[in-house]
Amino acid sequence: MKLVAGNSNRPLAEAIAAYLDIPLARCIVRRFADMEIFVEVQENVRGEDVFILQSTSAPANDHLMELLILVDALKRASARRITAVVPYFGYARQDRKPGPRTPISAKLVANMIVRAGATRVLTLDLHAGQIQGFFDIPTDNLFAAPVMVQDIKDVFPNDNLMVVSPDVGGVVRARGLAKRIDAPLAIVDKRRERPGESEVMNVIGDVAGHTCILVDDIIDSGGTLVNAAEALLEQGANVVTGYITHGVLSGGAVARIMASRLKELVITDSIQPSDSVVKAHNIRVLPIAPLLGEAIARTAEEKSVSSLFY
């Protein structure tokens, strides 16, 4: 078994390698002067079970090309099996046609990964579960919920908790977390006027006197989460904390979170945290390496991965 890392999230790759007690394979991923990507795997991988550790986070296109070229290099080096471990699958929000003459980019990216030569995909909290069906190879979609549940139990042992979905589309995810911690569920109904902006309309459920846990898969601009927290506090919630798997946090999102009434935003390190995220007083990062490492070990040993979540 070999672990190969791209440049998207080197600290996470090193943490996974430490968990598995396997060194990262020697590999060069660099740029030519014109920014073309060059890859050279400097170890023998013939007949090996190889796992490529690479999120398609910003810059998404560069990191996606790194992943594709790594897959191609390993395929041509006669690796027995190539598993693309993609903690954050970047094009997942483009999973349907929102209007005429628009692409389904998530399907396009899935096709590219398959055609490059990957034989399996391992990812974390896909934006939409049906994206698993976009791949014509076995695809395991892991869930960060067990990591979050343990943290919630440690931080809020005796609080009057309520899990809140920041929009109708995330109800299934929020309901799953609420069931794990035996808490009621509320929903924030919002209307999005244009991409990247959201307007909270009302709160479905009685949140007065509760400690509210906002749950979602991705936080990008932060507008949805900040508006939802404001609405919950206006409805009588004691405090509001956000638990989000993928901290994209683009543009002025970190400043927006720091200036908001959120008590804390908790994200995983599926995307490498920026310096501003690390320095933010109300943003905390949960390590996801043990979960991914265990899933990789079970995949290599042909054991059940789904049993991690039940």
**61-119 per-position pLDDT tens digit:** 999 999 999 999 999 999 999 999 999 999 999 999 989 999 999 999 999 999 999 99
Can you give the pLDDT at residue 257?
96
Can you give the pLDDT at residue 182?
93
Contact present, 249 and 220 (Cβ < 8 Å): yes
- Does residue 131 sit in the same domain as residue 151? no
Can you give the pLDDT at residue 309?
82
Main-chain phi, psi angles of 18, to 5 degrees: -65, -40
Residue 148 is assigned to a ligand binding site: no
- Does residue 68 sit in the same domain as residue 160? no
Contact present, 245 and 207 (Cβ < 8 Å): no
Residue 205 is assigned to a ligand binding site: no
Range of the domain at 268: 145-286
Burial of 284 (0-12, 13-18, 19+ CB in 10 A): middle
- Does residue 156 sit in the same domain as residue 255? yes
Nearest CA to 56 out of 92, 13, 31, 88 is that of 88
- Does residue 83 sit in the same domain as residue 178? no
Can you give the pLDDT at residue 308?
87
Catalytic site includes residue 75: no
Query: Six-digit token pair at 20?
Result: 């598995």
Can you give the pLDDT at residue 158?
79
- Does residue 131 sit in the same domain as residue 168? no
Residue 221 is assigned to a ligand binding site: yes
Q: Write down the catalytic residue from 2, 190, 263, 279.
A: 190
Can you give the pLDDT at residue 224?
86
AA letter at 82 = I
The rounded mean pLDDT for the chain is: 93
Residue 167 is assigned to a ligand binding site: yes
- Does residue 125 sit in the same domain as residue 254? no
Residue 242 is assigned to a ligand binding site: no
C-alpha angle 181-254-35 in degrees, rounded to nearest 5: 115
Strand partners, 216: 244
- Does residue 246 sit in the same domain as residue 259? yes
Can you give the pLDDT at residue 80?
97
CATH number at residue 260: 3.40.50.2020
Can you give the pLDDT at residue 198?
54
- Does residue 35 sit in the same domain as residue 163? no
Number of structural domains (the chain) is 2
The string of pLDDT tens digits covering residues 177-189 is: 999 999 999 999 8
Query: Six-digit token pair at 105?
Result: 């980019």
Residue 206 is assigned to a ligand binding site: no
Can you give the pLDDT at residue 189?
86
Residue 197 is assigned to a ligand binding site: no
In the predicted model, residues of the chain with pLDDT beneath 50 are none
- Does residue 209 sit in the same domain as residue 240? yes
- Does residue 85 sit in the same domain as residue 67? yes
Between the CA of residue 67 and those of 82, 116, 162, 263, 267, what are the distances in Å?
11, 9, 39, 37, 24
Q: Which residue has the tokens 């008590």?
A: 263
Q: What is the pTM of this model?
A: 0.93
